[in-house]
Structure 1
């Protein structure tokens, strides 16, 4: 049995076709519809559940697609206008043009031809509106991004000077480039790192310097690309587990970072999360103030206590110097 994940683009296309298909076949058997659409009955039922909460902006009861499922039969009772041809207003057309132009400039996109075809169609339909003075630029460090992309396309190994924020250190390493990609709004170089002897993701804005080597890029057979569908950081049981007690002002941590457990004991929550490095956790948590209290592990608590003691000593030093200064100075 295949366990491959259905691409989101395939599902979107199927959902867009599903409403007019079902409108033309009221009361159709779900198994018959699934066979026509080339999916399993389970997948079609999942599509129907998703479709049931889709509709027009406002998303009130009268705006959503509605249907009746009677045993193994399904009938669309409200199509929310999806039976009509799509007509974009000027703002919607311009938003699509800008979004597609952004995608076309994104490194690592494997469907660039399809994006450019869709962009051409929308620009043609939008007419003069598509020529509006809108410039699409990717996030900062464009020059470095273009330089790294050109080096990767040359097929050579690279020597990097790279800043690792988790350990707050800069290192030199030789890498065998594999691909460029964008995840979570950041551009990355994915490469086999000879220093770590593993596949690594290098954020472009953290590459301080690089040089193209004469030797070709030659990732070994064990250089497997990362699965970044869920983001770059994939916490596992091998990483340190940190326990926090957070107040109302620190609850954003549970939304911004992957957490393992949240116990909502008002007014404070008990939060457990995996971190790549205790050094990173120390720097991050000491800046959170009273809204976050570290419960464990003991090593992290000791690090933070030592850092706090050092900071207090620095505050005390100027006072001692002032006390020893001659009068009148």
Structure 2
């Protein structure tokens, strides 16, 4: 089985990383790379059997890591920087320009420097498009300080105190949140964080954060909050509730028509006849009860006994009208 795309990208970067840091401790490298020492060890074991065509011992990447420190002997050429093709450079330029249009997604000055370097690398043969100067950020070329504070808190894994405008409730609230990650969707950037006042994971749209202050304490989101990224498609209102539901196979069409996010990849299910667990964002308990009743038990709540009781009592009351 081929490595997943995210792992494959990491494997390509490992050899030049260790070649530039000879003798680095494996645990320190794992922290730098944002993975566990166990995962890094698995990556190194895979790289150990990779190399140049021929696959003789002298063709394979030479790595030593048994004593807790990593040394690279033979790199098989992977320490040399890769050259971008014209298509690859154009793709990166388009992506960077798109990020400039998303409020807070990147450091705008850094993105412009990257665009200039790529354009210089590909030469005058590439048509140079104008770089956006306004986008969604205030102040033209200068980055929005609130957005910068949020990004810094995510990188530093520090808690944030924010003042946030909820468009649905038309109200402003102050919260302390534990940042998890950033997301971009449909031209907007979101902070995914554990909200201490709501006691749950919420998504905060950057352009609705009025102020942000990084606190002198670490971000401590619960472990379960880190396991399943929230979908920006489902909710840009951090106060909307959600419910875990179970969907029978014949009703999976609702994934295309309602704000439902599978909790497992649909295409990777081992048993296609088994029900699928998903997360549904809803506006009110009454709406959710009516929604579930319409499926006659083929879509069921599994995380909220109160909703299940409401569905059962509503169904019993409906049956009672026919008696």
Structure with max Cα Rg: 1
User: How does the TM-score come out when normalised to structure 1?
Assistant: 0.46
Please report the TM-score for the alignment, with normalisation by the length of structure 2.
0.47
